[in-house]
Amino acid sequence: VPAGPELFTREFIADPYPAYAHLRKHAPVHRTTLPSGVEAWLVTRYADARQALADQRLSKDPRRSEAAWKQGKVGVPGEQRSGVGAHLLNLDPPDHTRLRRLVSKAFTPRRAEEFRPRVQALTDRLLDDFARTGEADLIHDFAFPLPIYAICDLLGVPEEDQADFRTWAGMMIRHGSGPRGGVARAVRHMRTYLAELIHRKRATLTDADDDLISGLIRASDHGEHLTEDEAAAMAFILLFAGFETTVNLIGNGLLTLLTHDRERLALRADPELLAPTVEELLRYDGPVEVATWRFSTTELEIGGTRIPAGEPVLVVLAAADRDPRRFPAPDLLDPARADNQHLAFGHGIHYCIGAPLARLEGQIAIGTLLRRLPDVRLALPADELRWRGGLIMRGLQRLPVTFAPETD
Ligand code: HEM
């Protein structure tokens, strides 16, 4: 492998795509040391990534990597040692199959679609707060609060408690090199709150309760078994998986459009372009840079490289979605791209269950902002923007913009 750009440096975090191009070409299945000290394989080509995401020999159970798990260095947070860590993203079949079936009953694409007017109202309310001022930080004022309020509504968290979630969510978003302690504390707060809410709702459940937590409780009462612990783990993972990802879709998406005048103007002129544009934004600079952890349960081969049993394997979605073997001119933003089957929502049995809601939120947030603030522009050069960093997510710390204040 010829020496390439270094991974995980500040330059890499700002723009990882050149390094991924190098890996795809010279070391498509590459063993490296992560900033946490854990050794892991990075899979960067589209075909290999898609195959790995669907490969049942790659487990999601972090206990497969015993030493790293004990140090809390692998797996998706959720207090791994207790019930709430037993959620979809840390489980394999058959446990995963049973839980996924239950949540799929309660969280259907139709339910997401029914949520459209609510997401539109939330979006407009957030915009009302700053549209007359002429400036905003589109992360702090817009992309960050929208998903957390949307998921709280969906789950059935009473409005008076939603400000707490905004605070806890703020602790979970990594700011620069912020300590992980904030994440652990936020997870504890959410866990305690959700467990109590589920307990309360279970005691008072009526047919009129149509929120998602009530749906989860009900699914468990029809002969299938969802314990209160499992319901709490499920509510937590919906929040955890659906929050920062959507922040990044809106943030990365708006940044891309603010630096692509032609595509932004085309979108403003023709709202029909909204859906394909959001799809292309998901491919071009998606919210999830690296899929969540996988571990080889047996010796296996990916793209001709032998991987021993018991090793962490990370599928780099951001690299796969820029693979020229799959997408012609991959570094070009092209909303008219044909056959845009990106991997931003994953693939296989862990494919994102929130994709319909995420698409809806992304389309409404981006479409409404560009319609209401038609001359919105960056308040500083794009290369001065800071990215949050961290292995899994790709998102901005701030997105300062200016615009002509809205009048009436
Ligand atoms: C799984 C991306 C929004 C809930 C996933 C996975 C990806 C992903 C890549 C698979 C991870 C893996 O295989 O390692 C995204 C993106 C989003 C988004 C890019 C926003 C643009 C949401 C929302 C929700 C959600 C809004 C829920 C409200 C979940 C859940 C899983 C998941 C529960 C685990 C599914 C399973 O393991 O069976 N998501 N997601 N996501 N997502 Fe999303």
- Identify which has the larger pLDDT, 128 or 235: 128
* Nearest atom of ligand 1 to the alpha carbon of 286: 19
C-alpha distances out from residue 295 to 68, 96, 214, 405, Å:
11, 16, 34, 51
Q: Which residues pair with 353 in a beta bridge?
A: none
| Strand ranges across the sheet with 312-315 | 29-33, 39-43, 312-315, 294-296, 58-59
CA-nearest residue for atom 2, ligand 1, is 345
Residue 146's contacts (CB-CB under 8 Å, 6 or more residues apart) are: 119, 122, 123, 126, 246, 247, 250, 361, 365
Q: Is the ipTM of this complex over 0.90?
A: yes
Q: Which two tokens stand for residue 267?
A: 């979108």
The chain-wide mean pLDDT, for the chain, equals 91
pLDDT of residue 227: 82
C-alpha distances out from residue 347 to 51, 116, 255, 316, Å:
9, 25, 26, 12
Q: Which two tokens stand for residue 280?
A: 């292309």
The answer to whether 272 and 374 are in contact (CB under 8 A) is no
Ligand 1 pocket test, candidate residues 115, 146, 245, 282, most atoms within 8 A of CB: 245
The answer to whether 103 and 155 are in contact (CB under 8 A) is no
Distance 140 CA to ligand 1 centre (A): 22
Distance 290 CA to ligand 1 centre (A): 12
Q: Does residue 89 have its Cβ closer than 6 Å to ligand 1?
A: yes
Phi/psi at 42 (nearest 5 deg)? -105, 130
Whether the pLDDT of residue 281 is over 90: the answer is yes
pLDDT tens-digit series, residues 327-382: 999 999 999 999 999 999 999 999 999 999 999 999 999 999 999 999 999 999 99
Q: Distance (Å, rounded) from C-alpha 179 to C-alpha 366?
A: 31
How does residue 82 score in pLDDT terms, banded at 50, 70 and 90? low
Q: Distance (Å, rounded) from C-alpha 364 to C-alpha 350?
A: 25
- In 3D space, the residue among 31, 3, 34 whose CA is nearest the CA of residue 19 turns out to be 3
pLDDT of residue 210: 87
The vertex-19 CA angle with 29 and 32, nearest 5°, equals: 45
| Residue recorded with tokens 């990365």 | 252
CA end-to-end span of the chain, whole Å? 60
How does residue 176 score in pLDDT terms, banded at 50, 70 and 90? very low
| Superfamily of segment(s) 10-402 | Cytochrome P450 (1.10.630.10)
CA-nearest residue for atom 38, ligand 1, is 350
Whether the pLDDT of residue 2 is over 70: the answer is no
C-alpha distances out from residue 337 to 254, 314, 347, Å:
19, 27, 20
Q: Distance (Å, rounded) from C-alpha 371 to C-alpha 2?
A: 47
| Alpha-carbon radius of gyration of the chain | 21
Q: Does residue 88 have its Cβ closer than 6 Å to ligand 1?
A: yes
How does residue 178 score in pLDDT terms, banded at 50, 70 and 90? very low
- Identify which has the larger pLDDT, 223 or 25: 25
